[in-house]
A and B are shown apart, each in its own frame.
Chain A
Protein backbone atom coordinates (compact mmCIF):
# COMPACT_ATOMS: atom_id res chain seq x y z
CA UNK A 1 0.00 0.00 0.00
CA UNK A 2 2.95 2.30 0.73
CA UNK A 3 3.90 2.06 -2.96
CA UNK A 4 0.42 3.11 -4.02
CA UNK A 5 0.28 6.28 -6.08
CA UNK A 6 -1.13 9.18 -4.12
CA UNK A 7 -4.05 11.23 -5.39
CA UNK A 8 -5.31 14.40 -3.71
CA UNK A 9 -9.03 14.87 -4.21
CA UNK A 10 -10.36 18.36 -3.49
CA UNK A 11 -14.16 18.21 -3.40
CA UNK A 12 -16.68 19.82 -1.06
CA UNK A 13 -19.37 17.18 -1.66
CA UNK A 14 -18.49 14.61 0.99
CA UNK A 15 -20.69 11.89 -0.54
CA UNK A 16 -18.97 12.19 -3.91
CA UNK A 17 -15.54 12.23 -2.22
CA UNK A 18 -16.37 9.04 -0.35
CA UNK A 19 -17.61 7.34 -3.51
CA UNK A 20 -14.48 8.29 -5.48
CA UNK A 21 -12.24 7.27 -2.59
CA UNK A 22 -13.77 3.78 -2.57
CA UNK A 23 -13.62 3.50 -6.36
CA UNK A 24 -10.03 4.69 -6.76
CA UNK A 25 -8.72 2.79 -3.74
CA UNK A 26 -10.20 -0.33 -5.32
CA UNK A 27 -7.90 0.40 -8.27
CA UNK A 28 -4.88 0.54 -5.95
CA UNK A 29 -4.46 4.29 -5.48
CA UNK A 30 -4.14 6.11 -2.17
CA UNK A 31 -6.73 8.87 -1.84
CA UNK A 32 -6.21 11.97 0.27
CA UNK A 33 -9.41 13.94 0.63
CA UNK A 34 -9.57 17.71 1.07
CA UNK A 35 -12.90 19.44 1.70
CA UNK A 36 -11.81 22.80 0.27
CA UNK A 37 -9.03 24.42 -1.73
CA UNK A 38 -7.10 25.52 1.35
CA UNK A 39 -6.87 22.00 2.69
CA UNK A 40 -6.00 20.73 -0.80
CA UNK A 41 -2.99 23.04 -1.04
CA UNK A 42 -1.79 21.94 2.40
CA UNK A 43 -2.10 18.27 1.39
CA UNK A 44 -0.35 18.81 -1.94
CA UNK A 45 2.57 20.52 -0.21
CA UNK A 46 2.76 17.84 2.46
CA UNK A 47 2.27 14.66 0.40
CA UNK A 48 3.48 15.61 -3.09
CA UNK A 49 0.83 13.48 -4.86
CA UNK A 50 1.14 11.90 -8.31
CA UNK A 51 -2.25 13.30 -9.39
CA UNK A 52 -4.67 16.00 -8.31
CA UNK A 53 -8.44 15.90 -8.77
CA UNK A 54 -10.14 19.18 -8.00
CA UNK A 55 -13.58 20.69 -8.21
CA UNK A 56 -13.64 24.23 -9.61
CA UNK A 57 -16.09 25.76 -7.15
CA UNK A 58 -15.00 25.25 -3.56
CA UNK A 59 -15.11 27.26 -0.35
CA UNK A 60 -12.16 29.51 0.67
CA UNK A 61 -9.86 28.72 -2.27
CA UNK A 62 -11.23 27.72 -5.67
CA UNK A 63 -9.98 24.93 -7.91
CA UNK A 64 -8.46 27.55 -10.20
CA UNK A 65 -6.35 28.90 -7.34
CA UNK A 66 -5.24 25.36 -6.50
CA UNK A 67 -4.06 24.83 -10.11
CA UNK A 68 -2.31 28.20 -10.13
CA UNK A 69 -0.58 27.40 -6.82
CA UNK A 70 0.67 24.03 -8.08
CA UNK A 71 1.89 25.35 -11.42
CA UNK A 72 3.21 28.78 -10.47
CA UNK A 73 4.19 28.63 -6.81
CA UNK A 74 5.22 25.01 -6.35
CA UNK A 75 6.40 24.78 -10.00
CA UNK A 76 5.13 21.21 -10.24
CA UNK A 77 3.89 19.44 -13.33
CA UNK A 78 1.61 17.04 -11.38
CA UNK A 79 -1.31 16.04 -13.65
CA UNK A 80 -4.54 17.82 -12.69
CA UNK A 81 -8.10 16.83 -13.58
CA UNK A 82 -10.79 19.42 -12.86
CA UNK A 83 -14.48 18.80 -12.22
CA UNK A 84 -16.92 21.40 -13.42
CA UNK A 85 -20.68 21.82 -13.33
CA UNK A 86 -22.83 22.78 -16.31
CA UNK A 87 -22.44 26.44 -17.23
CA UNK A 88 -18.83 26.70 -16.05
CA UNK A 89 -17.31 26.50 -19.52
CA UNK A 90 -15.37 29.72 -19.06
CA UNK A 91 -13.92 28.43 -15.81
CA UNK A 92 -12.81 25.26 -17.59
CA UNK A 93 -11.01 27.34 -20.21
CA UNK A 94 -9.30 29.30 -17.43
CA UNK A 95 -8.35 26.01 -15.76
CA UNK A 96 -6.72 24.80 -18.99
CA UNK A 97 -4.92 28.12 -19.38
CA UNK A 98 -3.57 27.75 -15.86
CA UNK A 99 -2.26 24.28 -16.65
CA UNK A 100 -4.99 21.70 -15.98
CA UNK A 101 -4.52 18.48 -17.97
CA UNK A 102 -8.09 17.25 -18.27
CA UNK A 103 -11.62 18.05 -17.15
CA UNK A 104 -14.85 16.22 -16.43
CA UNK A 105 -18.24 17.87 -16.48
CA UNK A 106 -20.66 16.95 -13.69
CA UNK A 107 -22.54 14.68 -13.61
CA UNK A 108 -19.80 12.27 -14.62
CA UNK A 109 -19.32 8.53 -14.57
CA UNK A 110 -16.88 7.32 -11.88
CA UNK A 111 -15.80 4.55 -14.27
CA UNK A 112 -14.83 7.13 -16.87
CA UNK A 113 -12.86 9.02 -14.24
CA UNK A 114 -10.92 5.85 -13.43
CA UNK A 115 -10.00 5.47 -17.11
CA UNK A 116 -8.76 9.07 -17.27
CA UNK A 117 -6.81 8.71 -14.04
CA UNK A 118 -5.14 5.53 -15.32
CA UNK A 119 -4.26 7.22 -18.59
CA UNK A 120 -2.61 10.16 -16.83
CA UNK A 121 -0.71 7.96 -14.39
CA UNK A 122 0.48 5.44 -16.96
Chain B
Protein backbone atom coordinates (compact mmCIF):
# COMPACT_ATOMS: atom_id res chain seq x y z
CA UNK B 1 0.00 0.00 0.00
CA UNK B 2 2.73 2.42 1.04
CA UNK B 3 4.77 1.35 -2.01
CA UNK B 4 1.84 2.13 -4.24
CA UNK B 5 1.42 5.62 -2.69
CA UNK B 6 5.12 6.33 -3.08
CA UNK B 7 4.96 5.27 -6.76
CA UNK B 8 1.96 7.55 -7.38
CA UNK B 9 3.66 10.49 -5.68
CA UNK B 10 6.76 9.85 -7.76
CA UNK B 11 4.81 9.95 -10.98
CA UNK B 12 3.07 13.21 -9.93
CA UNK B 13 6.47 14.65 -9.00
CA UNK B 14 7.76 13.56 -12.40
CA UNK B 15 4.92 15.40 -14.17
CA UNK B 16 5.49 18.57 -12.07
CA UNK B 17 9.25 18.43 -12.71
CA UNK B 18 8.68 17.85 -16.41
CA UNK B 19 6.33 20.84 -16.55
CA UNK B 20 8.68 23.13 -14.56
CA UNK B 21 11.73 22.17 -16.61
CA UNK B 22 9.97 22.56 -19.97
CA UNK B 23 10.52 25.67 -22.12
CA UNK B 24 7.93 28.42 -21.59
CA UNK B 25 6.19 27.72 -24.91
CA UNK B 26 5.58 24.09 -23.92
CA UNK B 27 4.21 25.25 -20.55
CA UNK B 28 1.81 27.63 -22.30
CA UNK B 29 0.64 24.90 -24.69
CA UNK B 30 0.03 22.52 -21.78
CA UNK B 31 -1.87 25.18 -19.84
CA UNK B 32 -4.03 25.99 -22.85
CA UNK B 33 -4.71 22.31 -23.50
CA UNK B 34 -5.85 21.85 -19.91
CA UNK B 35 -8.10 24.92 -20.06
CA UNK B 36 -9.63 23.73 -23.33
CA UNK B 37 -10.15 20.24 -21.97
CA UNK B 38 -11.93 21.62 -18.91
CA UNK B 39 -14.04 23.89 -21.14
CA UNK B 40 -15.02 20.95 -23.37
CA UNK B 41 -16.04 18.89 -20.33
CA UNK B 42 -18.08 21.76 -18.86
CA UNK B 43 -19.78 22.50 -22.20
CA UNK B 44 -20.57 18.83 -22.79
CA UNK B 45 -22.24 18.58 -19.38
CA UNK B 46 -24.09 21.85 -19.99
CA UNK B 47 -25.33 20.75 -23.45
CA UNK B 48 -26.44 17.40 -22.10
CA UNK B 49 -28.43 19.13 -19.36
CA UNK B 50 -29.82 21.67 -21.82
CA UNK B 51 -30.88 18.93 -24.23
CA UNK B 52 -32.58 16.90 -21.53
CA UNK B 53 -34.33 20.05 -20.27
CA UNK B 54 -35.54 20.87 -23.80
CA UNK B 55 -36.74 17.30 -24.33
CA UNK B 56 -38.58 17.39 -21.02
CA UNK B 57 -40.06 20.71 -22.02
CA UNK B 58 -41.13 19.32 -25.41
CA UNK B 59 -42.74 16.34 -23.72
CA UNK B 60 -44.64 18.60 -21.32
CA UNK B 61 -45.78 20.82 -24.21
CA UNK B 62 -46.96 17.74 -26.14
CA UNK B 63 -48.90 16.50 -23.10
CA UNK B 64 -50.58 19.85 -22.51
CA UNK B 65 -51.23 20.25 -26.20
CA UNK B 66 -52.99 16.90 -26.36
CA UNK B 67 -55.11 17.86 -23.37
CA UNK B 68 -56.05 21.28 -24.76
CA UNK B 69 -56.68 19.87 -28.23
CA UNK B 70 -59.19 17.51 -26.75
CA UNK B 71 -60.77 20.36 -24.72
CA UNK B 72 -60.97 22.54 -27.81
CA UNK B 73 -62.64 19.87 -29.93
CA UNK B 74 -65.08 19.07 -27.12
CA UNK B 75 -65.89 22.78 -26.82
CA UNK B 76 -66.49 23.08 -30.57
CA UNK B 77 -68.91 20.15 -30.64
CA UNK B 78 -70.57 20.78 -27.27
CA UNK B 79 -72.61 23.79 -28.38
CA UNK B 80 -76.39 23.55 -28.45
CA UNK B 81 -79.05 25.74 -29.88
CA UNK B 82 -80.90 26.36 -26.58
CA UNK B 83 -78.14 28.18 -24.71
CA UNK B 84 -75.41 30.45 -25.96
CA UNK B 85 -72.92 28.48 -23.89
CA UNK B 86 -73.70 24.89 -22.93
CA UNK B 87 -72.80 23.50 -19.50
CA UNK B 88 -70.04 21.38 -21.06
CA UNK B 89 -68.61 24.39 -22.82
CA UNK B 90 -68.69 26.40 -19.60
CA UNK B 91 -66.59 23.74 -17.84
CA UNK B 92 -63.95 24.02 -20.58
CA UNK B 93 -64.04 27.82 -20.53
CA UNK B 94 -63.49 27.80 -16.75
CA UNK B 95 -60.66 25.29 -17.07
CA UNK B 96 -58.88 27.27 -19.77
CA UNK B 97 -59.42 30.52 -17.87
CA UNK B 98 -57.72 29.04 -14.84
CA UNK B 99 -54.88 27.46 -16.89
CA UNK B 100 -54.31 30.75 -18.70
CA UNK B 101 -53.02 32.34 -15.50
CA UNK B 102 -49.87 30.23 -15.95
CA UNK B 103 -47.73 31.72 -18.73
CA UNK B 104 -46.39 28.39 -19.97
CA UNK B 105 -49.85 26.80 -20.18
CA UNK B 106 -51.24 29.96 -21.76
CA UNK B 107 -48.67 29.73 -24.55
CA UNK B 108 -49.66 26.13 -25.26
CA UNK B 109 -53.39 27.00 -25.25
CA UNK B 110 -52.91 29.91 -27.67
CA UNK B 111 -50.72 27.83 -29.98
CA UNK B 112 -53.36 25.05 -29.97
CA UNK B 113 -56.09 27.54 -30.87
CA UNK B 114 -53.90 29.00 -33.62
CA UNK B 115 -53.01 25.61 -35.07
CA UNK B 116 -56.66 25.01 -35.75
CA UNK B 117 -57.69 28.60 -36.49
CA UNK B 118 -55.21 28.80 -39.37
CA UNK B 119 -56.55 25.64 -40.99
CA UNK B 120 -60.31 26.05 -40.86
CA UNK B 121 -62.89 28.66 -41.77
CA UNK B 122 -66.59 29.17 -41.20
CA UNK B 123 -68.57 28.70 -38.00
CA UNK B 124 -65.89 26.69 -36.23
CA UNK B 125 -63.26 29.34 -36.84
CA UNK B 126 -65.66 31.88 -35.30
CA UNK B 127 -66.22 29.55 -32.34
CA UNK B 128 -62.44 29.39 -31.72
CA UNK B 129 -62.31 33.16 -31.61
CA UNK B 130 -65.26 33.17 -29.23
CA UNK B 131 -63.41 30.78 -26.94
CA UNK B 132 -60.38 33.09 -27.07
CA UNK B 133 -62.56 35.86 -25.67
CA UNK B 134 -64.51 33.73 -23.19
CA UNK B 135 -61.42 32.16 -21.65
CA UNK B 136 -59.92 35.61 -21.06
CA UNK B 137 -56.89 34.91 -23.26
CA UNK B 138 -57.47 38.17 -25.06
CA UNK B 139 -56.79 40.08 -21.83
CA UNK B 140 -53.22 38.75 -21.79
CA UNK B 141 -52.70 39.75 -25.43
CA UNK B 142 -53.98 43.24 -24.66
CA UNK B 143 -51.62 43.44 -21.67
CA UNK B 144 -48.75 42.71 -24.06
CA UNK B 145 -49.68 45.81 -26.04
CA UNK B 146 -48.89 47.91 -22.96
CA UNK B 147 -45.46 46.36 -22.43
CA UNK B 148 -42.35 48.55 -22.52
CA UNK B 149 -40.47 45.82 -24.40
CA UNK B 150 -41.03 46.16 -28.14
CA UNK B 151 -40.89 42.44 -28.89
CA UNK B 152 -43.65 41.73 -26.37
CA UNK B 153 -45.85 44.33 -28.10
CA UNK B 154 -45.05 42.70 -31.46
CA UNK B 155 -46.04 39.28 -30.10
CA UNK B 156 -49.31 40.72 -28.77
CA UNK B 157 -50.23 42.32 -32.10
CA UNK B 158 -49.27 39.17 -33.99
CA UNK B 159 -51.46 37.01 -31.76
CA UNK B 160 -54.42 39.35 -32.27
CA UNK B 161 -53.81 39.27 -36.03
CA UNK B 162 -53.62 35.49 -36.20
CA UNK B 163 -56.82 35.15 -34.18
CA UNK B 164 -58.51 37.81 -36.36
CA UNK B 165 -59.50 40.03 -33.41
CA UNK B 166 -61.02 43.01 -35.20
CA UNK B 167 -62.46 44.47 -31.99
CA UNK B 168 -59.14 46.03 -30.90
CA UNK B 169 -58.77 48.14 -34.04
CA UNK B 170 -58.94 51.41 -32.09
CA UNK B 171 -56.11 50.34 -29.79
CA UNK B 172 -53.81 49.88 -32.80
CA UNK B 173 -53.91 53.50 -33.92
CA UNK B 174 -51.22 54.52 -31.44
CA UNK B 175 -48.74 52.12 -33.00
CA UNK B 176 -49.01 53.38 -36.59
CA UNK B 177 -46.27 55.96 -36.05
CA UNK B 178 -44.42 54.07 -33.30
CA UNK B 179 -40.65 54.77 -33.26
CA UNK B 180 -39.85 51.03 -33.44
CA UNK B 181 -40.15 49.81 -37.02
CA UNK B 182 -40.93 46.21 -36.01
CA UNK B 183 -44.05 47.41 -34.15
CA UNK B 184 -45.10 49.58 -37.08
CA UNK B 185 -44.73 46.66 -39.49
CA UNK B 186 -46.73 44.35 -37.26
CA UNK B 187 -49.58 46.83 -36.86
CA UNK B 188 -49.67 47.45 -40.61
CA UNK B 189 -50.00 43.71 -41.16
CA UNK B 190 -52.76 43.57 -38.53
CA UNK B 191 -54.73 46.31 -40.27
CA UNK B 192 -54.36 44.93 -43.79
CA UNK B 193 -54.87 41.26 -42.82
CA UNK B 194 -58.09 42.01 -40.97
CA UNK B 195 -59.53 45.00 -42.80
CA UNK B 196 -58.09 44.38 -46.28
CA UNK B 197 -58.04 47.52 -48.43
CA UNK B 198 -59.84 49.49 -45.70
CA UNK B 199 -56.87 48.76 -43.46
CA UNK B 200 -54.70 50.87 -45.76
CA UNK B 201 -56.22 54.00 -44.23
CA UNK B 202 -53.18 54.11 -41.95
CA UNK B 203 -51.36 55.51 -44.99
CA UNK B 204 -53.30 58.79 -44.46
CA UNK B 205 -51.47 59.41 -41.19
CA UNK B 206 -48.21 57.54 -41.68
CA UNK B 207 -45.30 59.86 -40.97
CA UNK B 208 -42.47 57.32 -41.02
CA UNK B 209 -41.03 55.60 -44.07
CA UNK B 210 -42.64 52.45 -45.42
CA UNK B 211 -39.67 50.29 -46.39
CA UNK B 212 -39.60 48.32 -49.64
CA UNK B 213 -39.91 45.12 -47.60
CA UNK B 214 -42.95 46.50 -45.71
CA UNK B 215 -44.55 47.36 -49.05
CA UNK B 216 -43.91 43.87 -50.45
CA UNK B 217 -45.42 42.26 -47.35
CA UNK B 218 -48.54 44.45 -47.52
CA UNK B 219 -49.01 43.67 -51.21
CA UNK B 220 -48.56 39.99 -50.51
CA UNK B 221 -51.34 40.11 -47.89
CA UNK B 222 -53.64 42.14 -50.17
CA UNK B 223 -53.27 39.72 -53.04
CA UNK B 224 -54.75 36.91 -50.91
CA UNK B 225 -58.15 38.59 -51.02
CA UNK B 226 -60.57 38.15 -53.87
CA UNK B 227 -62.13 41.60 -53.58
CA UNK B 228 -60.96 44.01 -56.21
CA UNK B 229 -62.73 47.13 -54.98
CA UNK B 230 -59.81 49.42 -54.34
CA UNK B 231 -60.21 52.59 -52.27
CA UNK B 232 -59.38 55.95 -53.82
CA UNK B 233 -55.59 56.08 -53.96
CA UNK B 234 -55.44 59.73 -55.11
CA UNK B 235 -54.72 61.09 -51.59
CA UNK B 236 -51.78 58.67 -51.21
CA UNK B 237 -50.36 59.70 -54.57
CA UNK B 238 -50.38 63.28 -53.24
CA UNK B 239 -48.91 62.34 -49.85
CA UNK B 240 -45.95 64.24 -48.45
CA UNK B 241 -44.49 60.91 -47.39
CA UNK B 242 -42.50 59.67 -50.40
CA UNK B 243 -42.74 56.03 -49.34
CA UNK B 244 -46.54 56.29 -49.30
CA UNK B 245 -46.43 57.71 -52.84
CA UNK B 246 -44.14 54.86 -53.93
CA UNK B 247 -46.55 52.33 -52.43
CA UNK B 248 -49.57 54.00 -54.05
CA UNK B 249 -47.76 53.78 -57.39
CA UNK B 250 -47.40 50.04 -56.89
CA UNK B 251 -51.12 49.78 -56.08
CA UNK B 252 -51.96 51.81 -59.19
CA UNK B 253 -49.96 49.41 -61.34
CA UNK B 254 -51.04 46.11 -59.77
CA UNK B 255 -54.74 47.03 -59.64
CA UNK B 256 -54.74 48.94 -62.98
CA UNK B 257 -56.00 52.21 -61.49
CA UNK B 258 -56.42 54.12 -64.75
CA UNK B 259 -58.74 56.61 -63.03
CA UNK B 260 -55.81 58.15 -61.13
CA UNK B 261 -54.03 59.19 -64.34
CA UNK B 262 -54.31 62.91 -63.55
CA UNK B 263 -52.57 62.44 -60.21
CA UNK B 264 -49.94 60.33 -61.97
CA UNK B 265 -49.31 63.05 -64.56
CA UNK B 266 -48.86 65.56 -61.70
CA UNK B 267 -46.25 63.23 -60.21
CA UNK B 268 -44.09 63.67 -63.32
CA UNK B 269 -42.91 66.92 -61.73
CA UNK B 270 -42.37 65.39 -58.27
CA UNK B 271 -39.16 66.54 -56.61
CA UNK B 272 -37.96 62.99 -55.95
CA UNK B 273 -36.36 61.37 -59.01
CA UNK B 274 -37.17 57.77 -58.06
CA UNK B 275 -40.86 58.66 -57.85
CA UNK B 276 -40.76 60.36 -61.26
CA UNK B 277 -39.14 57.26 -62.77
CA UNK B 278 -41.68 54.93 -61.11
CA UNK B 279 -44.50 57.19 -62.29
CA UNK B 280 -43.33 56.93 -65.91
CA UNK B 281 -43.21 53.17 -65.48
CA UNK B 282 -46.82 53.07 -64.17
CA UNK B 283 -48.02 55.46 -66.90
CA UNK B 284 -46.48 53.13 -69.48
CA UNK B 285 -48.15 50.14 -67.88
CA UNK B 286 -51.53 51.90 -67.86
CA UNK B 287 -50.90 53.16 -71.42
CA UNK B 288 -51.72 56.79 -70.62
CA UNK B 289 -51.18 58.41 -74.04
CA UNK B 290 -51.31 61.99 -72.66
CA UNK B 291 -48.16 61.32 -70.69
CA UNK B 292 -46.23 60.56 -73.85
CA UNK B 293 -46.45 64.08 -75.31
CA UNK B 294 -45.68 65.72 -71.98
CA UNK B 295 -42.56 63.62 -71.57
CA UNK B 296 -41.53 64.00 -75.20
CA UNK B 297 -41.73 67.80 -75.00
CA UNK B 298 -39.66 67.83 -71.79
CA UNK B 299 -37.30 65.06 -72.83
CA UNK B 300 -34.14 67.17 -72.68
CA UNK B 301 -34.71 68.26 -69.10
CA UNK B 302 -35.40 64.71 -67.85
CA UNK B 303 -32.75 62.81 -65.93
CA UNK B 304 -31.15 59.87 -67.72
CA UNK B 305 -33.14 57.31 -65.69
CA UNK B 306 -36.36 59.08 -66.64
CA UNK B 307 -35.31 59.16 -70.29
CA UNK B 308 -34.62 55.40 -70.24
CA UNK B 309 -37.99 54.75 -68.57
CA UNK B 310 -39.70 57.01 -71.12
CA UNK B 311 -38.30 54.91 -73.96
CA UNK B 312 -39.71 51.81 -72.25
CA UNK B 313 -43.07 53.63 -72.18
CA UNK B 314 -42.69 54.40 -75.87
CA UNK B 315 -42.25 50.70 -76.61
CA UNK B 316 -45.93 50.33 -75.60
CA UNK B 317 -47.30 53.64 -76.88
CA UNK B 318 -45.35 54.51 -80.03
CA UNK B 319 -47.11 55.87 -83.12
CA UNK B 320 -45.81 56.75 -86.60
CA UNK B 321 -45.73 60.41 -85.53
CA UNK B 322 -42.92 59.50 -83.08
CA UNK B 323 -40.63 58.36 -85.89
CA UNK B 324 -38.58 61.55 -86.19
CA UNK B 325 -38.13 61.69 -82.40
CA UNK B 326 -36.95 58.10 -82.39
CA UNK B 327 -34.59 58.65 -85.32
CA UNK B 328 -32.96 61.51 -83.45
CA UNK B 329 -32.17 59.15 -80.59
CA UNK B 330 -30.80 56.20 -82.53
CA UNK B 331 -27.38 57.71 -81.98
CA UNK B 332 -28.02 58.74 -78.37
CA UNK B 333 -25.02 58.47 -76.04
CA UNK B 334 -26.90 56.04 -73.78
CA UNK B 335 -26.85 52.39 -74.77
CA UNK B 336 -30.36 51.57 -73.45
CA UNK B 337 -31.96 54.56 -75.20
CA UNK B 338 -30.20 53.66 -78.44
CA UNK B 339 -31.40 50.06 -78.13
CA UNK B 340 -34.99 51.11 -77.37
CA UNK B 341 -35.09 53.65 -80.21
CA UNK B 342 -33.86 51.13 -82.78
CA UNK B 343 -36.14 48.43 -81.43
CA UNK B 344 -39.21 50.66 -81.74
CA UNK B 345 -38.23 51.79 -85.25
CA UNK B 346 -37.87 48.17 -86.31
CA UNK B 347 -41.46 47.49 -85.11
CA UNK B 348 -42.88 50.79 -86.39
CA UNK B 349 -41.13 51.09 -89.75
CA UNK B 350 -39.27 48.01 -90.92
CA UNK B 351 -38.02 49.60 -94.16
CA UNK B 352 -36.70 52.62 -92.34
CA UNK B 353 -34.86 50.31 -89.95
CA UNK B 354 -33.06 48.65 -92.87
CA UNK B 355 -31.84 52.03 -94.11
CA UNK B 356 -30.23 52.78 -90.74
CA UNK B 357 -27.63 50.02 -90.95
CA UNK B 358 -24.67 52.21 -91.86
CA UNK B 359 -25.54 55.56 -90.29
CA UNK B 360 -23.10 55.10 -87.43
CA UNK B 361 -19.68 53.51 -86.98
CA UNK B 362 -20.09 53.40 -83.20
CA UNK B 363 -19.33 49.88 -81.87
CA UNK B 364 -22.39 49.80 -79.61
CA UNK B 365 -24.64 50.95 -82.46
CA UNK B 366 -23.36 48.18 -84.76
CA UNK B 367 -23.80 45.54 -82.05
CA UNK B 368 -27.34 46.70 -81.27
CA UNK B 369 -28.27 46.86 -84.95
CA UNK B 370 -26.94 43.37 -85.65
CA UNK B 371 -28.67 41.99 -82.59
CA UNK B 372 -32.02 43.50 -83.63
CA UNK B 373 -31.55 42.47 -87.24
CA UNK B 374 -31.49 38.79 -86.29
CA UNK B 375 -33.94 38.84 -83.35
- Footprint of B on A, CB under 8 Å? 13-16, 18-19, 22-23, 26, 86, 106-112
Query: Which B residues are in CB contact (< 8 Å) with A19?
Result: 73, 76, 116, 120, 124
Rounded to whole angstroms, the CA-CA distance of A38 and B69 in the bound complex is: 24
| B125 within 8 Å of A (CB atoms) | yes
Does the CB pair B70–A108 fall under 8 Å? no
Q: Given the known A-B contacts A13-B115, A86-B224, are A18 and B73 also in contact in the complex, defined by CB atoms under 8 Å?
A: yes
> When the two chains form the complex, which single residue of B69, B112, B116, B122 contacts A112, counting CB atoms closer than 8 Å?
B122
B72 within 8 A of A: yes
Which of A15, A19, A86 has the most chain B CB atoms closer than 10 A to its own CB?
A15
Contact B118 A107 (CB under 8 A): yes
**B121 located at the interface, meaning its Cβ lies under 8 Å from any Cβ of chain A in the complex:** yes
How many Å from the CB of B272 to the closest CB on chain A? Answer: 34
Contacts of B112 in A (CB 8 A): 15
> Do B120 and A18 touch across chains, with their CB atoms under 8 A apart?
no
Distance in Å: Cβ of A117 to nearest Cβ of chain B: 15
Q: Give the residues in chain A near B65, CB-CB below 8 Å.
A: 14
Interface residues of B in 123-169 (CB under 8 A from A): 123-125
| A-B interface, 8 closest residue pairs, ranked by CB to CB distance from nearest | A109-B122, A107-B121, A15-B116, A15-B115, A16-B119, A15-B69, A18-B73, A107-B120
Known: A13-B115, A86-B224. A18 touches B70 (CB 8 A): yes
Q: Nearest Cβ in chain B — how far from A11, in angstroms?
A: 9
Cβ of B86 to closest chain A Cβ, rounded Å = 16
Residues of B within 8 A of A22 (CB): 73, 77
* Chain B residues with CB below 8 A from A86, complex form: 224
| Residue of chain B at shortest CB distance from A19 | B73
Given contacts A14-B66, A15-B72, A23-B77, 11 further A-B contacts (CB under 8 A): A13-B115, A14-B65, A16-B116, A18-B70, A18-B73, A19-B116, A19-B124, A106-B118, A106-B120, A107-B121, A109-B123
Which residues on the B side are within 8 Å of A111 (C-beta)? 122-123
- For chain A, what secondary structure do more than half of its interface residues adopt (helix, strand, loop), or is it mixed? helix
Does B119 contact A13, Cβ atoms closer than 8 Å?
yes
Instruction: Select B121's contact among A14, A15, A18, A109, beta carbons within 8 Å.
Output: A109
On whether the beta carbons of A108 and B69 are closer than 8 Å, the reply is no
A16-B116, A19-B116 known; A107+B73 contact, CB < 8 A: no
In the bound assembly, the distance between CA atoms of A110 and B124 in angstroms comes to 8
A-B contact pairs, 14 of them (CB 8 A): A13-B116, A13-B119, A15-B115, A16-B115, A16-B116, A18-B73, A19-B124, A23-B77, A107-B117, A107-B118, A107-B125, A108-B119, A108-B120, A110-B124
Which chain A residue shows the least CB distance to B76? Answer: A19
Complex CA–CA separation, A43 to B122 (angstroms) = 30
Min CB gap B130→A, angstroms: 16
B116 and A110 contacting across the interface, CB-CB below 8 Å: no
Residue of B nearest to A55 (CB): B119
Shortest A78–chain B CB gap in Å is 24
Q: List the B residue with the shortest CB-CB distance to A105.
A: B121
Nearest chain A CB to B335's CB is how many angstroms away?
38
Complex CA distance for A110 and B123, rounded to whole angstroms: 9
List, in ascending order, chain A residues with CB within 8 A of B224's CB.
86
Q: Which of A18, A23, A106 contacts B69 (CB 8 A)?
A: A18
Q: Point out the residues of chain A lying under 8 angstroms from B124, CB to CB.
A: 19, 109-110
**Contacts of B59-86 to chain A: CB distance below 8 A:** 65-66, 69-70, 72-73, 76-77
A108 touches B121 (CB 8 A): yes
For the complex formed, measure the closest distance between the CB of A100 and the CB atoms of chain B, giving whole angstroms. 19
- Give the CA-CA distance A18 to B73 in the complex, in Å: 7
Within 8 A of A (CB), among B67-116: 69-70, 72-73, 76-77, 112, 115-116
Which B residues are CB-close (under 8 A) to A16? 115-116, 119-120
Residues of B within 8 A of A106 (CB): 118-120
A-side contacts of B69, CB under 8 Å? 14-15, 18
Chain A nearest CB, measured from B70 CB (Å) = 7
Q: How many angstroms between the C-alpha atoms of A13 and B264 in the bound complex?
A: 48
Residues of A within 8 A of B121 (CB): 107-109
Cα–Cα, bound, A110→B118 (Å): 13
Chain B residue at smallest Cβ distance from A111: B122
